[in-house]
Amino acid sequence: MNAPLHSDKLLPADDKTNGWSAILPRRNPRAPAQKSASFDWLVVGAGYAGVSAARRLAMLNPSQSIALLEAQQAGEGAQGRNAGFAIDLPHNNDHNPDNTEKGFRHIRLSRYGIDSLDELVRAHAIDCQWSRSGRYDCAVSPEISRRLLGATAAELDSLGEPYEIVRGEALHERIGTRYYDSAVYTPGTRLVNPAALSRGLADTLPSNVHLFENSPVLELEAEPTVAATLPGGVRISARKAVLTNNAFISRFGCFKRQLLPFVLFASLSRPLTLEERKQLGGTLDWGITPAHGIAGATLRYTQDFRILFRYGFQFAPTLRCSDSLRERMKRSHEVLFKARFPMLDQVKLEHFWAGYLSLSQNGAPGWGQLSKDVYAAVNCNGVGIAKQTAAGALIAELACDTGHPLISDMMALGSPDMLPRRPFLDVGVRTYLAAQKWAGRSEK
């Protein structure tokens, strides 16, 4: 590990605007860590990777104690703010048509994550609208369909994965809106209210996991023993630590100049009335991802008749975003929503929020052993529901030296490439985003 950083800016500060949690009943968070204490294990961050790592450590070591420290409340970070697609196939920067072996690895890992979520949702009756609805990867024009969906279909063929091409009227009958020309439908994606899922996962941890919420780790020592310092000088020490705090891991000096933090934006409508549902038409509980990953919009029609809209992707090296950017994105959401749903002109997007995630240039995770007693499972690369669930469980397997067969798949994904220094990095990323936006300009 590099020398620790001490910048308050590298602590999460999500606001209370997340629509997915606003529509849920009130939840009482677990008490913060107020007294110094020792545990066998320390896990930092209660997102998908953190709860999965803590759960697996607890199961592998039933007589040992695990402290899970979360800076905010469970379900209020990116884990509860996302679009709610647990995706089973290579997505965004997982693609590499020349390397099917890499595609198979992503599928094995994602399905391992999804299978364990299927089982946890069932076993603990987590009420989170978990559904096996699949996903429509949609193109807005015949030209984009030929170019991008054609490539997606070819990749699915080479991976031996089933899919369906849905066009024109047939697509309209399923999703109501006529905005899209065609789609590649794949059946394996699960859809979910991510705040309800991540609360449910945190609230059903084994009894040897001690979850402390509103407990930000300010400093982390790796030697001579692992110790975390929290506000008020509280110290939590442990034999080993697992860091699962996504882009915020840079606070501890890890993966320096390897991670690219981004801010994304999402909106959720009020439930449609019976009349509005008829005007929309189509079926219920579908999810659309855009053929133009970064430039396009992600949409869902939820089981409780709301429309989820995710659009906007901005580089956020300080893990903060300005009020003016928020306002601009909020207005874009309203305009783009109307373009897709002209029949719903009375429907307001009731909730609007921002969330942060981390990517690497080469799509590799920040996963593995960082020093003698410190491990990490970070850098979700945008598809963390499935993959960070897998990465969290497998980092626990690695730390306990179980020889789990999927560890070799995680390791084969490599580690994040080194990035240019700022401000060259900023220029490079902004140029790339502008080119993506231009390529996807037909998604208006």
Ligand X SMILES: Cc1cc2nc3c(=O)[nH]c(=O)nc-3n(C[C@H](O)[C@H](O)[C@H](O)COP(=O)(O)OP(=O)(O)OC[C@H]3O[C@@H](n4cnc5c(N)ncnc54)[C@H](O)[C@@H]3O)c2cc1C
Binding site for ligand X (CB under 6 A): 11-12, 44-50, 69-72, 77-79, 81-85, 87, 216-217, 244-246, 248, 251, 264, 266, 310, 355, 357, 378, 380, 382-386, 388
Which tokens go with 354? Answer: 């921002």
Given the complex with ligand X, which of 276 and 326 has the nearer CB atom?
Answer: 326
CA distance 257 to 267: 31
Nearest of 191, 200, 196, 192 to residue 55 by alpha carbon:
200
Closest CB 276 distance from ligand X, rounded Å: 24
8-state DSSP, 160: T
Given the complex with ligand X, which of 156 and 377 has the nearer CB atom?
Answer: 377
Which tokens go with 223? Answer: 């030697």
Largest CA-CA distance found in the chain, in angstroms, rounded? 65
Given the complex with ligand X, which of 344 and 380 has the nearer CB atom?
Answer: 380
CA distance 302 to 288: 12
Amino acid letter, 192 = V
Given the complex with ligand X, which of 276 and 387 has the nearer CB atom?
Answer: 387
Given the complex with ligand X, which of 238 and 276 has the nearer CB atom?
Answer: 238
Closest CB 265 distance from ligand X, rounded Å: 6
Residue 323, classified by CB atoms within 10 Å of its CB into exposed (0-12), middle (13-18) or buried (19+), is: exposed
Closest CB 412 distance from ligand X, rounded Å: 19
Cβ-defined contacts of 170-173 (< 8 Å, 24+): 171/136, 171/138, 172/281, 172/282, 173/281, 173/282, 173/283
Given the complex with ligand X, which of 242 and 276 has the nearer CB atom?
Answer: 242
Closest CB 50 distance from ligand X, rounded Å: 6
Given the complex with ligand X, which of 78 and 347 has the nearer CB atom?
Answer: 78
Q: What is the DSSP string of 95-129?
A: --TT-HHHHHHHHHHHHHHHHHHHHHHHHTT--S-
Which tokens go with 270? Answer: 């009020």
